[in-house]
Structure 1
């Protein structure tokens, strides 16, 4: 609030330049609040009147009026308005009328914007214990999310068919950029994680299998576990945390910047223009990253096994690995990696599209995409394990 100074005579300048102070003067029928000095927050102005300052001892009659004397008032800011507003509340409790006539015009205009009484504190709504209602709400929200995800997948599939026929809205430049982000840019972290996974499996297997003089079967353990399960799952988890979160944050940012709204206004399908390159790049790169992760896991197991087990040679380890892994194991992991890619791409894009428009919502969308992606990968892997058991794969 800009400081103000009322018109005053030269005799009042001494009191107008003094520190802020106030006094209450009681008369037969009226009470006067005298305000003097520079009433600004920098000068230490009081923001509220103490409790009990306007007691019945100052106001004997119920019909008294509280006047305000501002003849000695100097510069003022919003601290004066805050103080006088609390004075008005105290006067109302003391059954006194509050006279605003002598206040400066600026104070009166600000008073007109204030509520008549303070707002009561908000009451927290207590939700009754209703387990059936809560379960129903969760079920309906889950069905709504599944429906939205299914609709988004159908739109993306239709957009991919149009793109193959040359009539889609996808740009090849966007596809190549997403392929680079989802593929070559992720090679380092995929290499490190899968190498360490293979090394850990080989170390644990070597410690246990050495007790039974079955050192050579470390290669079987590392090869089958990584090709069948761990390489696909760990690569998908990496992509869910790295690429899925980036997709959700990017789309949520575009939503907050109203870029998504602009595309819809111009009739450009969002599913083909933005979502299809992201999902298609994951579908193309995830199987390749899975195969690359399998190789890095086997190399990690090779390094640990040949270093820890004196009876295991490099050629023997590779020969044992090739004998333990057949083509069906790669086919199973290859199919899982494609399904993981579709799930991560669709859920991340849907979370980004359903996010809010603030900066905090972008971070929330990215976090939610990572959590949903990781949990979804593990859940789908459990489903694949059941299917493999039924089909005896």
Structure 2
């Protein structure tokens, strides 16, 4: 059992400690309140004697810390010279006083929360709009040879966003086309309309699935990488260094990223269309009594060039949106290591949700104009 007692010496007070002082036993005694030493009227130096202590852990350190704080309030000088070296090192890590708890912020009211959220949302929309205008302006200056964008940056980002993404884009669109064909075949063959599987896969792939699935892949693959890269530069103060040297961040970092996605997304969309229809062809010819020539003819006659142009325009918008939002999220990220992961995750989530929302807007517009 832990035990302590006070011994008065000439010009000093000694706290004699004995027994086992282990916090897990939950029997560590508490030192009396701060006025205990003041009521005793002791003066001089407070010392410790731990020769009779058998075993100890942080429970003993917590008790000694309480004694030292009480001694300070009583005007006694505390000497830790008699403590073993491990105890002294642990005591040196502790503060002299207990920090005051941080005040609890009042819970915001509903209207206040809605108002602040609306203001922050409008401010963010304005910032993104300003960034978009600046990127378009710098892009136009680059076209006439007056921009400050490095060609090597654009080339590296284009290679990363284009050829390096062919495998994952091809696999996903192949499986999506195969799934569409399988679902369509299992239902249409009941009505002896298996030939329409080709039209189903072709229209769904060209009009929606190739553009949307490719954009979702790029939001998770490239958009998250852009946000992580820029947020890492933010933490390493590289963004601050660029601004100090007068190098515009929008031209040096954001413009190559946005242009690379805007350029490669239409080609990835066309590639996804071909691969998706090929996946539907594999399933349809295996499940249905269709010849390759018949499937090809049914696919070509199902849609026109207008469907391709519709998906082509959507893919361009998707690429620009993913690039801008990812770079913006990276620029507004914090400077710690955890903020890099938060920025990458947020870029992926915003990119995927934004792509689906923009696709819904395109669907409404297409229905209104009769596409």
Return the TM-score normalized by structure 1.
Answer: 0.81
Matches within 5 A, 1:265-284: 265-284=244-263
Deviation at 1:120, TM superposition (A): 4.4
Give SS of 1:291's match: helix
Deviation at 1:219, TM superposition (A): 0.4
Matches within 5 A, 1:338-377: 338-377=316-355
Partner of 1:385: 363
Indicate conservation of the 8 Å contact 1:88/1:98, yes or no. no
Matched, 1:330 2:300: no
Give SS of 1:374's match: helix
Matches within 5 A, 1:211-360: 211-310=190-289, 312-360=290-338
Partner of 2:54: none
Counterpart-to-counterpart distance in 2, 1:60 and 1:190: 75
Counterpart-to-counterpart distance in 1, 2:263 and 2:163: 12
Counterpart-to-counterpart distance in 2, 1:270 and 1:55: 59
Deviation at 1:62, TM superposition (A): 2.5
Give SS of 2:301's match: helix
Partner of 2:5: 24
Counterpart-to-counterpart distance in 1, 2:61 and 2:271: 70
Indicate conservation of the 8 Å contact 1:347/1:369, yes or no. yes
The structure-2 alpha-carbon separation of the partners of 1:380 and 1:101, relative to structure 1 and needing over 3 Å to count, comes to closer
Indicate conservation of the 8 Å contact 1:256/1:356, yes or no. yes
Counterpart-to-counterpart distance in 2, 1:281 and 1:52: 67
Counterpart-to-counterpart distance in 2, 1:162 and 1:205: 49
Counterpart-to-counterpart distance in 1, 2:37 and 2:171: 84
Counterpart-to-counterpart distance in 1, 2:152 and 2:245: 21
Partner of 1:125: 105
Indicate conservation of the 8 Å contact 1:49/1:86, yes or no. no
Partner of 1:148: 127
> Of 46, 49, 65, which aligns to 2:42?
65
Counterpart-to-counterpart distance in 1, 2:295 and 2:5: 97
The structure-2 alpha-carbon separation of the partners of 1:257 and 1:144, relative to structure 1 and needing over 3 Å to count, comes to same
Partner of 1:85: 65
The structure-2 alpha-carbon separation of the partners of 1:215 and 1:69, relative to structure 1 and needing over 3 Å to count, comes to closer
Give SS of 1:324's match: coil
Matched, 1:33 2:22: no
Deviation digits for residues 224-263 of structure 1, max 9, x if unmatched? 0110011000000000000000000011111111111111
Deviation digits for residues 49-81 of structure 1, max 9, x if unmatched? 94455589xx799352265245888xxxx9898
Partner of 1:15: none
Indicate conservation of the 8 Å contact 2:71/2:77, yes or no. no
Return the TM-score normalized by structure 2.
Answer: 0.85
The structure-2 alpha-carbon separation of the partners of 1:216 and 1:262, relative to structure 1 and needing over 3 Å to count, comes to same
Indicate conservation of the 8 Å contact 1:244/1:345, yes or no. yes
Indicate conservation of the 8 Å contact 1:25/1:31, yes or no. no
Indicate conservation of the 8 Å contact 2:157/2:260, yes or no. yes
Indicate conservation of the 8 Å contact 2:14/2:49, yes or no. no
The structure-2 alpha-carbon separation of the partners of 1:122 and 1:288, relative to structure 1 and needing over 3 Å to count, comes to same
Counterpart-to-counterpart distance in 2, 1:72 and 1:352: 55
- Bigger CA radius of gyration: 1
